[in-house]
Structure 1
């Protein structure tokens, strides 16, 4: 039986290739001569050797690990954007370590502490915003570069990449005003995600620019059960006839999905047509929004552009090995997705 090779030293000895050359190959296969590379690859196949990449990383001053921390992977929005960030890291030859804070700001701090022991080259963080431990993120960033994405925290991290929410909400308000009654705004009173506050302020400013009176409906609720809260509170407000117009813009798609369910249960005809008596729209282009009944009108964020720019911005920090003179902020425009719900 062929004996098991336990480490790189044993592989170098049995294959007749020097240990420094083998190490150089695993760091960058293109850095060794073609003839040597072929010899190493043939030996890898013959002896079925797979190096411990994690151990190799830990022996370096800087590793090929990239930490990716999101608020809640159970939320399909963060699953999708986290997936795209992960793929962008892999494409660039790095090993992403994707962690969820499970809706708990304290766990966000714990995730950063855990990542320190893995010596990542950098971290991509989608923070909770005002609920995040700002000092902890700053202290981490002093040693390991941090690029924020999705939600911004001013003066934290080397850079931020996200959506221009004032542009995107204005785009939706403009469409709803010209295609029917002006929208009311439906949201949670104390949202976890700081983007929700931007959506409210953008709605107010946009309505005033269009000569309309903002109508905001805030409801109680905690955590990430947006659909459940949207359904329960939407049912109550619709039953009371509380909304001043027949058009409702929800702070996010998950909230809108809950409201759609409430409207269905109360017998409302949701959509854009003479037989319809309610219009509902959202924001984010949640992966499920096109499968609701009726499909949800929303704003699509450019997941791919945000993911790619976040990764490339972090890599640029590695290459320069210094922070830019000013904190970089990159915002991508949202895109209106018109579906049957509005």
Structure 2
């Protein structure tokens, strides 16, 4: 291997004896140059240990291959899982995804969107904070950059939204719980971080009334993204105060349910669907850890694969159409009930 340090594509073209346009063409698409030329370039790459600055190459293109993926809280395993699916789909299509987390902060979400503008992305997949987002700034960004929203829908913003049908989640869990035992109470945060929580509460009330049962909504104190601890503390207070009007609980999301299970265990309350158990607990999302709780958590599952696949496909369609659709599109995927030991 040569000791000479090649710093840019011009220097590499000079030492390899191949024209700069041909070298550039190779790096954009190796199959676009003749096999003999490709072999010479690859031999020179090994000799000089040169790798191009792909980021700089992209910045010189009118349309880059960069795709931004923004989630509200990457420490949440749900968002880590959906981001993994999105990244894999983008990479398979020849794009280079960059993943960002706003950590539940509006200021950071805005800083991320500003940074993405400088990257000149081909498009962005954005799961906004929702209630905490600056709607006007998100709307402005979506006008400037081809953007598909996923998970949290800011009504009327962006060219498209892809997510899960919250009524499908709750209707299945409520129907199952009422069919197999006492009607459930709904356990939620008073100030939910994610707008899906409000839709799930509305769906719970609607489904209970449709089935002829009185809805019972238990709203606990807590704000932010530490759902497990908020759920544990809130459940402990509800259980100790005897404020639970039924022996079945439907939690707004699996992370709150994990906290509820923890509180029940600490208080010596057995959860499950056998006669020896005092409570049944179910939830929504199919969090990646839901099957590993004790007892394992009955829940309604997101269709991760289809949500990710359709989000990416919609973004590519948006890019190809010049960043605009005739009308805003919304795609919702139904949930799938997963029966486990907790209910």
Q: TM-score, normalised by structure 1?
A: 0.97
Answer with 194-203 or 130-139: which moved more. Answer: 130-139
Contact 2:70–2:125 at 8 Å: present in 1 too? Answer: yes
Alignment partner, residue 327 of structure 1: 328
Query: Is the alpha carbon distance of 1:322 and 1:81 closer, same or farther for their aligned partners in structure 2, counting shifts above 3 Å?
Result: closer
Alignment partner, residue 275 of structure 2: 274
Runs (4+) of structure 1 exceeding 3 A deviation are: none
Alignment partner, residue 54 of structure 1: 55
Partner secondary structure for residue 215 of structure 2 = coil
How many Å separate the matches in 1 of 2:164 and 2:305? Answer: 12
Tell me how far 1:140 sits from its aligned partner: 1.2
Q: Which runs of 5+ in 2 are unaligned?
A: none
Answer with 52-61 or 251-260: which moved more. Answer: 52-61
Alignment partner, residue 207 of structure 2: 206
Q: TM-score, normalised by structure 2?
A: 0.97
Alignment partner, residue 12 of structure 2: 11
Asked if 1:233 corresponds to 2:246, the answer is no
Alignment partner, residue 158 of structure 2: 157
Tell me how far 1:137 sits from its aligned partner: 1.3
Show CA shifts across 1:52-87 (max 9, x none): 111111111221111111101111111111121111
Show CA shifts across 1:226-283 (max 9, x none): 1111111101111121111100000000100000011111111100011111001111
Alignment partner, residue 182 of structure 1: 183
Tell me how far 1:216 sits from its aligned partner: 0.3
Show CA shifts across 1:84-130 (max 9, x none): 11111111111111111011122111110111111111111001123
Partner secondary structure for residue 314 of structure 1 = helix
How many Å separate the matches in 2 of 1:38 and 1:144? Answer: 38
Q: Which runs of 5+ in 1 are unaligned?
A: none
Show CA shifts across 1:178-234 (max 9, x none): 011111000001101000001101111111111111100001111111111111110
Alignment partner, residue 174 of structure 2: 173
How many Å separate the matches in 1 of 2:111 and 2:154? Answer: 18
Asked if 1:37 corresponds to 2:28, the answer is no
How many Å separate the matches in 1 of 2:140 and 2:234? Answer: 40
How many Å separate the matches in 1 of 2:303 and 2:314? Answer: 16
Q: How does 1:130-149 map to 2 (within 5 A)?
A: 130-149=131-150
Contact 2:146–2:323 at 8 Å: present in 1 too? Answer: no
Tell me how far 1:39 sits from its aligned partner: 2.4
How many Å separate the matches in 2 of 1:279 and 1:17? Answer: 71
Tell me how far 1:320 sits from its aligned partner: 2.1
How many Å separate the matches in 1 of 2:316 and 2:292? Answer: 37
Alignment partner, residue 193 of structure 2: 192
How many Å separate the matches in 1 of 2:62 and 2:139? Answer: 21
Tell me how far 1:322 sits from its aligned partner: 4.3
How many Å separate the matches in 2 of 1:28 and 1:181? Answer: 62
Q: What is the RMSD computed on CA atoms of the aligned residues? A: 1.1
Answer with 33-42 or 163-172: which moved more. Answer: 33-42
How many Å separate the matches in 2 of 1:194 and 1:153? Answer: 9
